[in-house]
């Protein structure tokens, strides 16, 4: 389960995380990190913008099993 750093500091702008899983999709890549400061789209609030390894985050959402998924255009290193 991804640690949700935004609960502790909603102004956090940089963090270090480990890649838990990555998968290629029709839109690019989906990555799951061990921790994140990116708030997912929820209840009409849009997801947080930003970069993962200089790659723009296209979408952030919570899966049905509670994982935070980050959609990006290219693969990132572990």
Name which CATH class applies to 3-72.
mainly beta
Boundaries of every domain in the chain: 3-72
Residue 1: its pLDDT value, please? Answer: 84
Look up the pTM and report it. 0.92
The residues that bridge with 34 in the sheet, in sequence order, are: none
pLDDT in tens, 14-73: 999 999 999 999 989 999 999 999 999 999 999 999 999 999 999 999 999 999 999 999
Give yes or no for a contact between 69 and 41, defined as CB atoms under 8 angstroms apart. Answer: no
């Amino acid at each position: 389960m991804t640690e949700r750093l935004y609960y502790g500091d909603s102004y956090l702008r940089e963090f270090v995380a480990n890649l838990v899983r990555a998968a290629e999709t029709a839109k690019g890549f989906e990555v799951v990190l061990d921790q994140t400061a990116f708030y997912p789209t929820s209840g009409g609030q849009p997801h947080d913008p930003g970069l993962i390894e200089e790659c723009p985050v296209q979408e952030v959402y919570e899966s049905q099993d509670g994982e935070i998924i980050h959609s990006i255009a290219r693969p990132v290193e572990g």
